[in-house]
A = this chain, B = another copy of it.
């Protein structure tokens, strides 16, 4: 016994509905049923015609397509997502200490640029999920388990229990993931794309040493950040490679706040044998150092050479332009996206890790 046709009530629009939006929402969008009815075929045929699966008479296919076009039909992505168990959406989980860091930082911006650029080519979309370090993860867990995301790119700034907990949540949701900046422990089977902080710091410091500087200071960034630690390590390694002693007095600063630079630079200047060069852990720190140096009557690079890290847009706009280390941020984003897409497509975890090289950009401050 067969029940009456399923669609008697019609998902439906009275055949011709006009286009006037009545309330905020307008008439409900045409569905496969509407197209099928108008084309005189069944919904299965509509689907085949529109998705180009074989086995349809060209005539039928064209007529269906024409009708769909005329009706302004667009497939419902949610229904398609439910059916396919794939949503064409990836999440960008951006994890940092303050809400400001999350977006205002050049990292997120650059990475996001790359991610979206790459994804746009594959008709994938990006859902952003800013996450404060220490924030409760249960909302995120719900989101990840909710089937809304095909994969996730996560930007981590430190290796810590909090980071691990986050990765654990992603992992337990069984979603492919690519990490940016910090790699995940191998057991997670997450891919990663990082850049070589230590090598960049090494290059910068080495360059300063090769210029003849014997007293090279380092403006240290926030010690909670892995990048800050790695940049310091690279600096130390370069000192050693250049047969320069590592003087603890030459390492100052412990935050990303430019305002802490003032005291740091004062301390540096107060050393009996003060530095003739400063390698700052990032560009903002470098800018501030230059201002302080100038205010104290010292010229850059003549009295003190300064090198930054990041190469934010402003670096080349300064006078003189800042010598700094360029991070290929957009590339990071692009590669992460590529990797993730491949993983989703192959239904295999991303796994591989890669570290992109950074580049010392020599400009006017050293």
Chain A positions within 8 Å of B, measured between CB atoms, are 1, 19, 21, 23-27, 29, 72, 74-79, 81-82, 87, 89, 99-100, 102-104, 106, 108-110, 112-113, 116-117, 120, 123, 125-130, 139, 141-143, 145-148, 171-176, 189, 258-259, 284, 287-288, 291-292, 294-295, 313-314, 317-319, 343, 347-349
Contact B78 A148 (CB under 8 A): yes
Residue numbers in B under 8 Å from A112 (CB-CB)? 103, 128
- Name A290's closest neighbour in chain B (CB-CB): B319
What are 27 A-B interface contacts by the 8 Å CB criterion?
A: A23-B347, A24-B189, A24-B348, A25-B174, A25-B176, A26-B173, A74-B145, A74-B146, A76-B147, A77-B147, A78-B81, A78-B87, A79-B82, A79-B147, A100-B113, A102-B113, A103-B108, A103-B112, A112-B128, A116-B130, A125-B143, A125-B148, A126-B127, A284-B314, A291-B318, A291-B319, A294-B319
Contact A142 B313 (CB under 8 A): no
Contact B125 A126 (CB under 8 A): no
Contact B314 A287 (CB under 8 A): yes
Contact A147 B319 (CB under 8 A): no
Residue numbers in B under 8 Å from A288 (CB-CB)? 317, 319
Residue numbers in B under 8 Å from A25 (CB-CB)? 174-176, 347
Contact A78 B146 (CB under 8 A): yes
Most buried by B among A110, A123, A146, A291: A146
Residue numbers in B under 8 Å from A78 (CB-CB)? 78, 81-82, 87, 146-148
In angstroms, Cα B99 to Cα A295, docked, is 37
Residue numbers in B under 8 Å from A74 (CB-CB)? 141-142, 145-146
Question: Given A291-B318, A291-B319, do A174 and B26 touch, yes or no (CB 8 Å)?
Answer: yes
- Name A89's closest neighbour in chain B (CB-CB): B127
Most buried by B among A109, A113, A126, A347: A109
Give min CB distance, A314 to chain B, whole Å.
7
Residue numbers in B under 8 Å from A139 (CB-CB)? 120, 123
Give min CB distance, A113 to chain B, whole Å.
5
Give min CB distance, A222 to chain B, whole Å.
16
Residue numbers in B under 8 Å from A117 (CB-CB)? 99
Contact A109 B103 (CB under 8 A): yes
8 Å CB contact of A103 from B75, B113, B295: B113
In angstroms, Cα B19 to Cα A171, docked, is 11
Give min CB distance, A89 to chain B, whole Å.
7
Residue numbers in B under 8 Å from A79 (CB-CB)? 82, 147
Residue numbers in B under 8 Å from A176 (CB-CB)? 24-25
Contact A99 B82 (CB under 8 A): no
In angstroms, Cα B141 to Cα A153, docked, is 26
In angstroms, Cα B74 to Cα A288, docked, is 48
**15 more CB-based (< 8 A) A-B contacts, given A79-B147, A109-B109:** A1-B1, A21-B189, A24-B189, A25-B175, A29-B145, A75-B146, A78-B146, A100-B113, A102-B113, A104-B109, A112-B128, A120-B139, A125-B129, A287-B314, A292-B319
